[in-house]
Amino acid sequence: MYLPKHFDQPSVDVLHQLMQAQPLATLVTLSADGLNANHLPFHLSADTAPLGTLRGHVARANPVWRESSQETEVLVIFQGPDAYITPSWYPTKAEHGKAVPTWNYAVAHAYGKLRVCDDVVWLRSHLAALTDHNEAAFAEPWQVSDAPADYTEKLMAAIVGIEIEITRLMGKWKVSQNQPAENRVGVVQALQASGAANALAMAALVEGAGNVS
């Protein structure tokens, strides 16, 4: 990933927050057939040193767990808020016209080696943790135990667990840091005015990165 210094997000805690808030990620692997991408929800165990561990599962019929070499590094991409930024939001555009559109975004790239976990005890623990994390916001959280045991046992037989201990973690926060203060204010105000959830999330990132007030 091309990462200019002013867009670098070095904080592991901040990257973990994005990964936990946006658990659906893209797993990129390399096999004999070339590059492959799978879109999977991951559960992050942030307390495992030094950078955390990602746990997920795939359909047993998915060849990724058989074909991905456990000696080759894989990449997991987490996508945060993003927004199109029009130069019309920049006060400097009215002054000299030297402005072009861009796209703001936040991403986390996690690297490590993929380990297959074809074990029912591991799967139960993983599914419970993944479910509890994603159900936490609901008034009456669903639990794995809410479904009939024979039903979940049959479904678990059709999946395989995967685990990736993160060995490298990179973050790119492209959130208008390269713009002068007045343009960052213009971006924040316009994004907030839209009211869209993704726009509001991006406005908060621009504010946080540029100390916009």
Q: What is the predicted pLDDT for the residue at 213?
A: 46
Q: Note whether residue 61 is domain-resident.
A: yes
pLDDT tens-digit map of 83-99: 999 999 999 977 787 88
Is 191 a member of any domain? no
Percent of the chain at pLDDT exceeding 70: 98
CA-based torsion, 65, 66, 70, 73: positive or negative: negative
Range of the domain at 23: 5-85+103-177
The number of C-alpha atoms within 13 Å of 104 and in the hemisphere containing its C-beta is 27
pLDDT digits (tens, 9 = 90+) for 17-44: 999 999 999 999 998 889 999 999 999 9
Domain-embedded: residue 44: yes
Decide if 136 is inside a domain: yes
188, part of any domain: no
Which of 39 and 68 is assigned the larger pLDDT? 39
Mean pLDDT across the stretch 58-84?
94
155 located within any domain: yes
CATH number, domain with residue 141: 2.30.110.10
Angle, CA 28 vertex, CA 26 and CA 30 arms, to 5°: 165
**Entry pTM:** 0.93
Any domain includes 184: no
Nearest to 104 by CA among 182, 12, 187, 13: 187
* Tokens (6 digits) for 121: 């005890």
How many structural domains compose the chain?
A: 1
pLDDT digits (tens, 9 = 90+) for 90-125: 999 777 878 899 999 999 999 999 999 999 999 999
Contacts of 12 (CB under 8 A, 6+ apart): 51, 52, 169
Residue 94 lies in a domain: no
